[in-house]
Every structure is written in structure tokens, then in C-alpha cells.
């Protein structure tokens, strides 16, 4: 059983993780009796020389227990480029310092490092106005069940109920109102 309050599980770096960088991931240990924290490359090997897969869709996906992981985060950023919610937002788990996203991982291959991808689904009520797809956030009570195989894809790979996530605006949207240009004969300042 995973205790979400067990700080030893987490190694807070404070770094922003981006596709192609190393990220912290929780895996079931080899005996499936506990968990281990490892660093893996974010981006699965492309199948035919294309771009790495940073995200994979939940719909119709069956994730073998040995390929399940939880991607550790202290927040998740959303950038909305248009509309009333334009700006940058931070998604966190209310009253918890860490959150986990459902993921899949692959062992190191001759031509690719051990890596992971985040599983996405249709947006739930907390993120519907911000994104057309969202990462699958896993409730702390389901962490052990997901990694150990007691939880099915149907149990985990879906949006959470309303109010499960906290969404905070980080930047204000830019004004769409045009500011008139300064006339060339206006002084820059007055005495």
C-alpha cells in the first residue's frame, strides 16, 4: 500500500519537467510488494522514426501491470491561448504537496533510454474550459491499486469528479484593447 504522505517517496527538485527531459516516476518494485522512485526519459520511442510519444490516449488502452507507472508532479501547467481563460494556469491537488499522473513506461532499449508517457483522457469538469484533452490524474487512494494491478483501466483512466483539482491563474490575460500610439510631438515628461 502506498502512503501519499510518505515524503521519502518524493525527491523535490523544483525543476520544471518538459518533454524530452528526465522526470520522476513511481514503479512497482520487482517483487510487487512496494514501490520505487526512478528517473526516466519523458517520451516513448517512436515506432517508425517519427517524434517521441509524450502522451498516449486512454480510450481503448489496456496497460499491462508491468508497464504501469505514476508520474510524480507538484503541479501541472496549462497554457490557454484564446478565449476568456487565456493565460497560464497551474493545476494542483488540493491540500497535498504532490500529485501523480497515470503513465506507461518502457525499459531501456538498445537505441532508446528507459522512458515514459503520460496517459490522457477527455477533460473532466475541473479542466473542461481549459483543455480539449487532459492528463489522467490519479487520486492518492488509487496509487497502489494502479501500480499493483488491483485497479483496472476503467477504474483509473478517466477524469476525476468535480472539485478534485485546484486550478490557479498564474498570468493575467493580455488586454485586447489597443493603446493609442504616443504622438511624436508629445513630451516624454514635463517639468
pLDDT tens digits for range 109-126: 888 999 999 999 999 999
d(CA 138, CA 158): 9
Identify which of 63, 74, 58 has the alpha carbon closest to the alpha carbon of residue 24: 74
Beta-bridge partners for 100 = 72, 138
Beta-bridge partners for 78 = 89
pLDDT tens digits for range 4-58: 444 444 444 445 778 888 999 999 887 666 789 999 999 998 877 788 899 999 9
Calculate the alpha carbon distances from 21 to 17, 120, 186 in Å.
6, 19, 51
Domains by residue range for the chain, with CATH: 7-73+97-159 (3.90.1680.10)
When computed from its CA atoms, the radius of gyration of the chain, rounded to whole angstroms, is 21
Q: Check residue 17 and give its pLDDT.
A: 76
pLDDT band at 174 (very low <50, low <70, confident <90, very high): low
d(CA 142, CA 148): 10
Q: Check residue 84 and give its pLDDT.
A: 87
The pLDDT of 57-71, averaged and rounded, is: 95
b/e sequence 133-151, b meaning 16+ C-beta within 10 Å: ebbbbbbeebbbbbbbeeb
Identify which of 78, 74, 118 has the alpha carbon closest to the alpha carbon of residue 92: 74
Amino acid at each position: 500500500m502506498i502512503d501519499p504522505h510518505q515524503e521519502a517517496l518524493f525527491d523535490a527538485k523544483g525543476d520544471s519537467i518538459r518533454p524530452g527531459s528526465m522526470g520522476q516516476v513511481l514503479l512497482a518494485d520487482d517483487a510487487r510488494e512496494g514501490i520505487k522512485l526512478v528517473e526516466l526519459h519523458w517520451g516513448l520511442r517512436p515506432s517508425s522514426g517519427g517524434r517521441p510519444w509524450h502522451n498516449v490516449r486512454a480510450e481503448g488502452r489496456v496497460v499491462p501491470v508491468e508497464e504501469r507507472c505514476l508520474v510524480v508532479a507538484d503541479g501541472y501547467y496549462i497554457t490557454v491561448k484564446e478565449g476568456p481563460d487565456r493565460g497560464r494556469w497551474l493545476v494542483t491537488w488540493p491540500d497535498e504537496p504532490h500529485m501523480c499522473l497515470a503513465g506507461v513506461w518502457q525499459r531501456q532499449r538498445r537505441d532508446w533510454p528507459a522512458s515514459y508517457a503520460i496517459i490522457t483522457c477527455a477533460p473532466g469538469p475541473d479542466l473542461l474550459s481549459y483543455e480539449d484533452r487532459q492528463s489522467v490524474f490519479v487520486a492518492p487512494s488509487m496509487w497502489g491499486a494502479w501500480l499493483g494491478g488491483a485497479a483496472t483501466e476503467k477504474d483509473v483512466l478517466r477524469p476525476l469528479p468535480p472539485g478534485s483539482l485546484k486550478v490557479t491563474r498564474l498570468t493575467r490575460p493580455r488586454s485586447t484593447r489597443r493603446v493609442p500610439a504616443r504622438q511624436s510631438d508629445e513630451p516624454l515628461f514635463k517639468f
